[in-house]
């Protein structure tokens, strides 16, 4: 196997986030599911919710793209594959990815629908409720894949959010084949209980056939996938079927299990939770950075916890402080 040029290449939704603050009454009045993600199925629906929201902050987002932003900030060499439209938001997203040092070569898609956007409502407790219009991102074709880029990455990282539309689902299956043929590792994040409820059989099939080498889940996603209320039982069951399982538990920290070896770390202390948008994405960035650099499970979890703590201490899904310096100060 030839050495990889890229540490991580990710395939995910190319999304611009609009983040606004609101109270719990707004959540209830608009029929939103607090702390979760729901899809908006039309431009009109997205625009109607946007009009009801208060003043917002626009920033490039998308789960896997956020993870790559964190990895790049940690000094890793990364690439992204995702579909934007040939419009203003598509130009903004492309600029933001490249400005962070991430290779992004996917050609924009002409015409409608527009570039994806995620309308995020943050309540006073810091919980984010996401309402996603997938737009152009759901039309990522297999023909847009750079197989040379995928083959040249040590880890291929895929987000469960993008599994919903048929076209990118097929593209990701093809990408897994390319990565496996090149002898690379495949990491997958379950993303949300919403995704599991719709695609449990597919996700379990990917695990059963050995397509996934590193699986990321939070506690709720783990229990949903295993259809269990027993956390330890679910960990034991799933970790026996995937080479490396990583589970985040919010304020209770995170665990990782690899070939029977288990490590756990507490959550990093912060003054206040401001916005949980991107917490899981940045945790994945830290953990993958540790693994790409050959660090132990405990060190990788610690880097993930440091990155997650940084991102929830401010509004927005990408790091604002020097997370590389923070990690070096802690672990060397």
pLDDT, tens digit (0-9, with 9 covering 90-100), for 221-232: 999 999 999 999
pLDDT (0 to 100) of residue 168: 95
Local structure of 1: helix, strand or coil: coil
Of the pLDDT bands very low, low, confident and very high (cuts 50, 70, 90), residue 275 is: confident
CA distance 12 to 224: 22
Percent of the chain with pLDDT over 90: 88
Percent of the chain with pLDDT over 70: 100
pLDDT (0 to 100) of residue 208: 98
pTM of the model: 0.91
Of the pLDDT bands very low, low, confident and very high (cuts 50, 70, 90), residue 332 is: confident
- The average pLDDT across 46-56 equals 91
pLDDT (0 to 100) of residue 121: 94
- The average pLDDT across 43-59 equals 90
What is each CA distance from 89 to 94, 113, 135, 268, in whole angstroms? Answer: 9, 12, 11, 34
Local structure of 75: helix, strand or coil: coil
List, as one string, the DSSP characters of 264-309. EEPPPP-S-----TTHHHHHHHHHHHHHHTT--HHHHHHHHHHHHH
pLDDT (0 to 100) of residue 57: 85
Of the pLDDT bands very low, low, confident and very high (cuts 50, 70, 90), residue 316 is: confident
pLDDT (0 to 100) of residue 148: 97
Q: What is the mean pLDDT of the chain?
A: 95
CA distance 156 to 6: 10
pLDDT (0 to 100) of residue 319: 94
The CA-based dihedral angle spanning residues 190, 282, 231, 24, taken in that order and rounded to the nearest 10 degrees: -90
* Res. 173: pLDDT tops 90: yes
**What domains, with CATH codes, occur in the chain?**
6-14+61-112+136-331 (3.40.1190.20)
Residues forming beta bridges with residue 245, ordered by sequence position: 215, 257
- The 10s digit of each residue's pLDDT in 286-298 is 999 999 999 999 9
* Res. 119: pLDDT tops 80: yes
* Res. 201: pLDDT tops 90: yes
- The 10s digit of each residue's pLDDT in 226-256 is 999 999 999 999 999 999 999 999 999 999 9
* Res. 1: pLDDT tops 80: no
- The 10s digit of each residue's pLDDT in 125-166 is 989 899 999 999 999 999 999 999 999 999 999 999 999 889
- What is the chain's Cα-based Rg? 18
Of the pLDDT bands very low, low, confident and very high (cuts 50, 70, 90), residue 43 is: confident
CA distance 302 to 281: 14
Of the pLDDT bands very low, low, confident and very high (cuts 50, 70, 90), residue 280 is: very high
* Res. 306: pLDDT tops 80: yes
Of the pLDDT bands very low, low, confident and very high (cuts 50, 70, 90), residue 36 is: confident
């Amino acid at each position: 196997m030839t050495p990889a040029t890229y540490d991580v290449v990710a395939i995910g939704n190319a999304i611009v986030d609009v983040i606004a603050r609101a109270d719990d009454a707004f959540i209830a009045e608009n029929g939103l599911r607090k702390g979760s993600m729901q899809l908006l199925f039309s431009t009109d629906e997205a625009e109607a919710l946007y009009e009801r929201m208060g003043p917002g902050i626009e920033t490039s987002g998308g789960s896997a793209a956020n993870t790559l932003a964190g990895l790049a900030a940690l000094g890793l060499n990364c690439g992204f594959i995702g579909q934007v439209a040939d419009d203003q938001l598509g130009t903004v997203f492309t600029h933001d990815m490249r400005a962070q040092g991430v290779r992004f070569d996917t050609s924009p898609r002409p015409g409608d629908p527009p570039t994806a956007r995620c309308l995020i409502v943050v309540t006073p407790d810091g919980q984010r409720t996401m309402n996603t219009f997938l737009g152009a991102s759901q039309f990522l074709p297999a023909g847009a894949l750079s197989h040379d880029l995928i083959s040249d990455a040590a880890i291929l990282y895929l987000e469960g959010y993008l599994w919903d539309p048929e076209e990118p689902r097929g593209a990701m299956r093809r990408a897994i084949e390319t990565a496996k043929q090149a002898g690379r590792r495949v990491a997958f994040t379950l993303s949300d209980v919403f995704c599991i409820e719709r695609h449990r059989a597919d996700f379990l099939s990917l695990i059963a056939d050995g397509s996934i080498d590193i699986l990321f889940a939070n506690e709720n996603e783990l229990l949903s996938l295993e259809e269990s209320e027993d956390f330890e039982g679910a960990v034991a069951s799933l970790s026996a079927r995937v080479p490396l399982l990583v589970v985040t538990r919010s304020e209770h920290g995170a665990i990782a299990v690899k070939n029977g070896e288990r490590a756990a770390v507490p959550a990093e202390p912060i003054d206040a939770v401001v916005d949980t948008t991107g917490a899981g994405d940045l945790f994945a960035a830290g953990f993958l950075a540790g693994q790409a650099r050959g660090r132990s499970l405990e060190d990788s979890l610690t880097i993930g916890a440091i990155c997650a703590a940084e991102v929830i201490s401010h509004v927005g899904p990408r790091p604002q402080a020097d997370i590389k310096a923070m990690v070096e100060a802690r672990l060397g």
